Amino acid sequence: MTPESSASPLKIPLLEKYGPTMTKEEVAETLHIPRHIIQPLTRAGLFTPFGEPKKYCVKRYSSEVIARNMVDQNWLDKMVAAIHRHWRNKNARKRAKQAGNPPATVSQTVKT
């Protein structure tokens, strides 16, 4: 095992430019996902902001936790599943609205 491969997860080049906390814009840039997807991922329990920020406050996320999750295959699978679920629910609500039907409630359970 080389010394580089046993280094801490914070040695990921994308995270080296950030401090110990990251905003949702920085998290989205690091994960290469759109910024508006961070909220559904937070709602699914995949991200936890520091403190208990109110609705319109800037949320800060741990860069160490993000780094650990970026190398965890199971977490990445859950993240992709949550993104798919978000768009599936959003599109179902849109189709129901266009058809004139009330939107059905869809379960937000997370596969563990």
In whole numbers, what is the pLDDT of the chain averaged over residues?
82
Q: Which residue has the tokens 């992709």?
A: 80
- pLDDT at position 78 is 94
The 10 Å Cβ neighbour count of residue 52 is 6
Q: What region, left, alpha or beta, does residue 51 occupy, with left being phi > 0 and alpha being psi -120 to 50 degrees? A: left
- pLDDT at position 110 is 53
Q: Note the pTM of the prediction, 2 decimals.
A: 0.70
d(CA 38, CA 28): 7
- pLDDT at position 14 is 64
pLDDT digit string (tens) for 57-99? 899 999 889 889 988 999 999 999 999 999 999 999 999 888 8
